[in-house]
Structure 1
Amino acid sequence: MASDGARKQFWKRSHAKVPGSIQHVYGAQHPPFDPLVHGTLLKSMPKVPTTPMKAKRVSTFQEFESNTSDAWDAGEDDDELLAMAAESLNTEVVMETAHRVLRDHSQRQGQHPPPEAPAHEAELPAAPGSDLRLVKSVSESHAACPAEGAGGAASLQRSQSLPHSASATLPGAADPGTASSCALSEREASRLDRFQQLLAGPHTDLEELRKLSWSGIPKQVRPITWKLLSGYLPANADRRPATLQRKQQEYFAFIEHYYDSRNDEAHQDTYRQIHIDIPRMSPEALILQPKVTEIFERILFIWAIRHPASGYVQGINDLVTPFFVVFICGYLDTEDVESVDMCSVPTEVLRNIEADTYWCVSKLLDGIQDNYTFAQPGIQMKVKMLEELVSRIDEQVHQHLDQHEVRYLQFAFRWMNNLLMREVPLRCTIRLWDTYQSEPEGFSHFHLYVCAAFLMRWRKEILEERDFQELLLFLQNLPTAHWDDQDVSLLLAEAYRLKFAFADAPNHYKK
């Protein structure tokens, strides 16, 4: 176990200010460059006169945290605007305008307005040559959006308890109908446009696609993006139609050759277990449709036959659902998958979606197959790694679980076996997989840090439980039913922080 002095030195180094010689890396996988934090623009901006709050010194992690989302898409259209604003806007004018916007917003809600800005801030004139267009557009866009109801007020209250960068910029941070929904729509439209431009080229830059996808993929381009990131489709656009046709034909050749053997003595146990497990999956309204059940049975049986080293293991069945749902929703242009009637989908479309799902699931499982071989050594190892990682991150939580004789295998085995699919809603799983497919070894290595962040998310509740049974029941039934993209984005940001802090430490697993 590393000494206290060594740990202090490590954290001192990891929180040290980034030297000017370090070249910034763009993209969400590596936090994007923000000229207002990293560059000389911050230094050149005039300081705000005396205020009740003292500005905090920016640290390395704060720089990372403020850039994990894509509110300012560096290297994109906003760079020029940011530079112009930093050079020409008067800080006092910005502060006064912000106070006025908040004051107007509170009055519309019938709430008490925030404290008035100090007179010396509000009355100072704009600096000569100040460009007030940006300030005016902020105020006008706020007024143009509809006022929030009670739900919006609750959302605002929740956002105030989060870090500024997370509450203000993470995708999905505002509910539809809130004052920030207009800006959110514009940002999402801009992201969609960048995806479409990247995908429309003759050769897709997969590295750029991964960086862009880390913060979430618009649903309109998610099917094609997942196929590219999983390695199912080639980056060369001209080769994709032939690849799709060949792989789909190959899959149905497997069906013709192997599927009739499902009732043979050698395979009937495998098929029976698959048949039993599928109705237990989610979403039930979709899975229980006969056509969907048949598709899942074929996909899982063919995979098991073609991978005899592992065969079918409970848990693999859950991994089919996200791919199938994303592909079927892409065809139907809907998000309410549970209301979809598969009888209305053309047979040829369902055949293509089935084949695409099979190959994408196969690509995923290729990277984590040791999770499903005999005795599932991959999962056993990952649970042990999680235990040792948590002991490094938060010894109090680790000791609390140990004192109450709660073993990590009792709750974390399912987290590894099902990739957290049983712990969060399907919509959150899909968002989580956007990032997993963007990260190197996302479903194996990065998933470990996501699980650690997920456990730490419930730190307060865990420490309040003083009974083995209640503690275990809580960990096996975590209250995530109402989670949305914002919750997942915060989870991923924390997981990235843990990876950033621990992945390169040679002894971070050792006691």
Structure 2
Amino acid sequence: MASDGARKQFWKRSNSKVPGSIQHVYGAQHPPFNPLLHGTLPRPGPRLPASPLKAKRVSTFQEFESSTSDAWDAGEDDDELLAMAAESLNSAVVMETANRVLRNHSQRREQHPLRGAPGPQAEPPSLSSGDLRLVKSISESHTACPADPASETAPLQRSQSLPHSATVALSGASPDQGVLSSAAFSEREASRLDKFRQLLAGPNTDLEELRKLSWSGIPKPVRPMTWKLLSGYLPANVDRRPATLQRKQKEYFAFIEHYYDSRNDEVHQDTYRQIHIDIPRMSPEALVLQPKVTEIFERILFIWAIRHPASGYVQGINDLVTPFFVVFICEYIDDDDDSAVAVSSVPEEALRNVEADTYWCMSKLLDGIQDNYTFAQPGIQMKVKMLEELVSRIDEQVHRHLEQHEVKYLQFAFRWMNNLLMREVPLRCTIRLWDTYQSEPEGFSHFHLYVCAAFLVRWRKEILEERDFQELLLFLQSLPTSHWGDADVSLLLAEAYRLKFAFADAPNHYKK
């Protein structure tokens, strides 16, 4: 445990402008509160025995601010086999199939030692060191807690079988063949792209089939249209889409004409000023520092804030614009680097369409998680508490380690919930995550919790090696994910689905 003197020295350093220091929370507009103390969150049952080293509960905004930091600145055949299992077998057999896929990673790790730090994944189906560490950490966590009801040996008391979408992701993250040739991989991707195009070209797109197909990732050429359909922005009927697009785009620019000049009014000056300050802080810098992009983002965020007075603008919402904007503008730009998109060559009319589409799709997303941004941000408070309870069940050793070093989940997970892990992984990984989030029921509000739990346990080894409060918190706020690619995200999502399968609708799993 950190001594009082050491902690004072650390917080003094964290409030300074030294590069790499921990900074105040960015995004907590309102005083956070404790849902349990205020009676807004039902207790999940008897609490686990509290550690004698556990720090006192944060109950005021001043305590929260003083103890919370921020680093915002800082194969196809396999798919079909698993799909058959999902459709015809019971849940125990399907889960064993999924777990066997994950265990194959661990076995390959013993056969093929790592060869240093990995670079960008040229062939996502090949096994990365990130994948191996996640599988190893999950395996170790269940071995360390044999009584854990989420362990592989514990029977699952759910009748729901694994959906085809999840089995595709599992097989894609861990194919039977260790490394696919680029030709075979291209053929597989071409086959998936053809399936998407056939589905989208029909007179009425089957949205349920589209979700299943999208769970394991959406090919870039069809991602813009698929996102618009999955978000509920466009109708399934192909004949109605052009009229809907025209109407919604016209409606958005009517909002601009009616409301945007009011940004200079005294009542809205604080909101607009905060938006103007936050946009240059966004990532990637190569995108948001372009003048045209800055203007577009300012308009989108200001109009959204004016039309949603229950929350208004809260720091963190600004990041949620970027993935939609990048995906939609790539319809007009042939550039594989999503973080370096140049908009100067895009026609003005196309930019207007991208802006309107981005606004409406972002609004659809925020409709499902708006309680994250209303007064006191109760949605985030609740999700952080649920994350703490979940991690205490799936990996008690990691949970106890954080407790013993007085690291509170609010200190690192607030940002994970506030901006949906966007600051923790590269933009390309965020876009891949959102493919699945839009395919999952309540993906942004519910499934995200299990992704965060899998993400935390992914760093189990590194977390347990840290024995200092300061270093532990700095690590959690600056995780080494810059090299991550589709393979890392696919395995993360597969483990998150496994956790969801074990814990969702099973409250007894939270009890001893």
Residues matched between the structures, number: 386
Is this contact kept in 1: 2:131–2:487, CA < 8 A?
Answer: no
Residue 182 of structure 1 and its aligned partner are, at CA, apart by 1.6
Amino acid paired to 1:63: T
Q: Which residue of 1 is the match for residue 270 of structure 2?
A: 269
Is this contact kept in 2: 1:65–1:493, CA < 8 A?
Answer: no
Q: Which residue of 2 is the match for residue 426 of structure 1?
A: 427
Is this contact kept in 2: 1:449–1:495, CA < 8 A?
Answer: yes
**Shift in CA distance, 215/375, structure 1 to aligned 2, threshold 3 Å:** same
> 1:199-218 alignment to 2 at 5 Å?
199-218=200-219
Residue 507 of structure 1 and its aligned partner are, at CA, apart by 2.9
- DSSP-derived class of the 1:64 partner: helix
Residue deviations 1:43-97, cap 9 Å, x none?
Answer: xxxxxxxxxxxxxxx95433124679xxxxxxxxxxxxxxxxxxxxxxxxxxxxx
Q: Which residue of 2 is the match for residue 15 of structure 1?
A: none
Q: Which residue of 1 is the match for residue 442 of structure 2?
A: 441
Residue 213 of structure 1 and its aligned partner are, at CA, apart by 0.2
- DSSP-derived class of the 2:376 partner: coil
Residue deviations 1:240-297, cap 9 Å, x none?
Answer: 0000000000000000000000011000000000000000111101100000000000
Q: Which residue of 2 is the match for residue 33 of structure 1?
A: 84
Mapped to 2, the partners of 1:483 and 1:169 lie a distance apart of: 19
- DSSP-derived class of the 2:219 partner: coil
Residue 339 of structure 1 and its aligned partner are, at CA, apart by 4.0
> 1:157-172 alignment to 2 at 5 Å?
158=129, 161=132, 169-170=171-172
Is this contact kept in 2: 1:323–1:360, CA < 8 A?
Answer: yes
Q: Which residue of 2 is the match for residue 365 of structure 1?
A: 366
Mapped to 2, the partners of 1:352 and 1:337 lie a distance apart of: 19
Is this contact kept in 2: 1:406–1:468, CA < 8 A?
Answer: yes
> 1:112-151 alignment to 2 at 5 Å?
none
> 1:9-158 alignment to 2 at 5 Å?
32-34=83-85, 60-65=94-99, 158=129
Amino acid paired to 2:376: A
> 1:456-495 alignment to 2 at 5 Å?
456-495=457-496
Is this contact kept in 2: 1:159–1:167, CA < 8 A?
Answer: no
Mapped to 2, the partners of 1:457 and 1:159 lie a distance apart of: 8
Residue 392 of structure 1 and its aligned partner are, at CA, apart by 1.0
Is this contact kept in 1: 2:262–2:268, CA < 8 A?
Answer: yes
Is this contact kept in 2: 1:283–1:338, CA < 8 A?
Answer: yes
Mapped to 1, the partners of 2:286 and 2:187 lie a distance apart of: 34
**Shift in CA distance, 271/179, structure 1 to aligned 2, threshold 3 Å:** same
Structure 2: give runs of 5+ residues left out of the alignment. Answer: 1-44, 49-77, 103-111, 113-120, 136-166
Query: In the alignment, is residue 180 of structure 1 matched against residue 181 of structure 2?
Result: yes
**Shift in CA distance, 510/298, structure 1 to aligned 2, threshold 3 Å:** farther
Amino acid paired to 2:365: L
Amino acid paired to 2:98: F
- DSSP-derived class of the 1:423 partner: coil
Q: Which residue of 1 is the match for residue 257 of structure 2?
A: 256
Query: In the alignment, is residue 290 of structure 1 matched against residue 291 of structure 2?
Result: yes
Q: Which residue of 1 is the match for residue 341 of structure 2?
A: 340
Mapped to 2, the partners of 1:156 and 1:402 lie a distance apart of: 33
Mapped to 2, the partners of 1:227 and 1:406 lie a distance apart of: 40
- DSSP-derived class of the 1:368 partner: helix
Is this contact kept in 2: 1:229–1:438, CA < 8 A?
Answer: yes
Q: Which residue of 2 is the match for residue 195 of structure 1?
A: 196
**Shift in CA distance, 159/427, structure 1 to aligned 2, threshold 3 Å:** closer
Q: Which residue of 2 is the match for residue 232 of structure 1?
A: 233
Q: Which residue of 2 is the match for residue 22 of structure 1?
A: none
Q: Which residue of 2 is the match for residue 101 of structure 1?
A: none
Is this contact kept in 1: 2:131–2:488, CA < 8 A?
Answer: no
**Shift in CA distance, 171/460, structure 1 to aligned 2, threshold 3 Å:** closer
Q: Which residue of 1 is the match for residue 282 of structure 2?
A: 281
Residue 506 of structure 1 and its aligned partner are, at CA, apart by 2.4
Residue deviations 1:104-159, cap 9 Å, x none?
Answer: xx9xxxxxxxxxxxxxxxxxxxxxxxxxxxxxxxxxxxxxxxxxxx999xx66859
**Shift in CA distance, 506/263, structure 1 to aligned 2, threshold 3 Å:** same
Q: Which residue of 2 is the match for residue 378 of structure 1?
A: 379
Is this contact kept in 1: 2:249–2:356, CA < 8 A?
Answer: yes
Residue deviations 1:23-45, cap 9 Å, x none?
Answer: xxxx99x9622499969xxxxxx
Q: Which residue of 1 is the match for residue 326 of structure 2?
A: 325
Q: Which residue of 1 is the match for residue 451 of structure 2?
A: 450
Mapped to 1, the partners of 2:508 and 2:88 lie a distance apart of: 32
**Shift in CA distance, 173/327, structure 1 to aligned 2, threshold 3 Å:** farther
Mapped to 1, the partners of 2:284 and 2:310 lie a distance apart of: 30
Amino acid paired to 1:170: G
Is this contact kept in 2: 1:310–1:373, CA < 8 A?
Answer: yes
Residue 341 of structure 1 and its aligned partner are, at CA, apart by 2.9
Mapped to 1, the partners of 2:128 and 2:232 lie a distance apart of: 42
- DSSP-derived class of the 2:402 partner: helix
Amino acid paired to 1:183: A
Mapped to 1, the partners of 2:449 and 2:132 lie a distance apart of: 27
Q: Which residue of 1 is the match for residue 222 of structure 2?
A: 221
RMSD: 3.3
Mapped to 1, the partners of 2:433 and 2:86 lie a distance apart of: 28
**Shift in CA distance, 340/447, structure 1 to aligned 2, threshold 3 Å:** closer
- DSSP-derived class of the 1:335 partner: coil
- DSSP-derived class of the 1:314 partner: coil
Is this contact kept in 2: 1:383–1:412, CA < 8 A?
Answer: yes
TM-score using structure 2 length: 0.70
Amino acid paired to 1:201: G
Amino acid paired to 1:376: Q
Amino acid paired to 1:61: M
> Whose relative contact order is higher, 1 or 2, with alpha carbons under 8 Å and at least 6 apart?
2
Mapped to 1, the partners of 2:278 and 2:257 lie a distance apart of: 23
Mapped to 2, the partners of 1:188 and 1:397 lie a distance apart of: 38
Amino acid paired to 1:32: A
Q: Higher Cα Rg: structure 1 or 2?
A: 1
Mapped to 2, the partners of 1:317 and 1:168 lie a distance apart of: 32
Residue 335 of structure 1 and its aligned partner are, at CA, apart by 2.1
Residue 455 of structure 1 and its aligned partner are, at CA, apart by 0.4
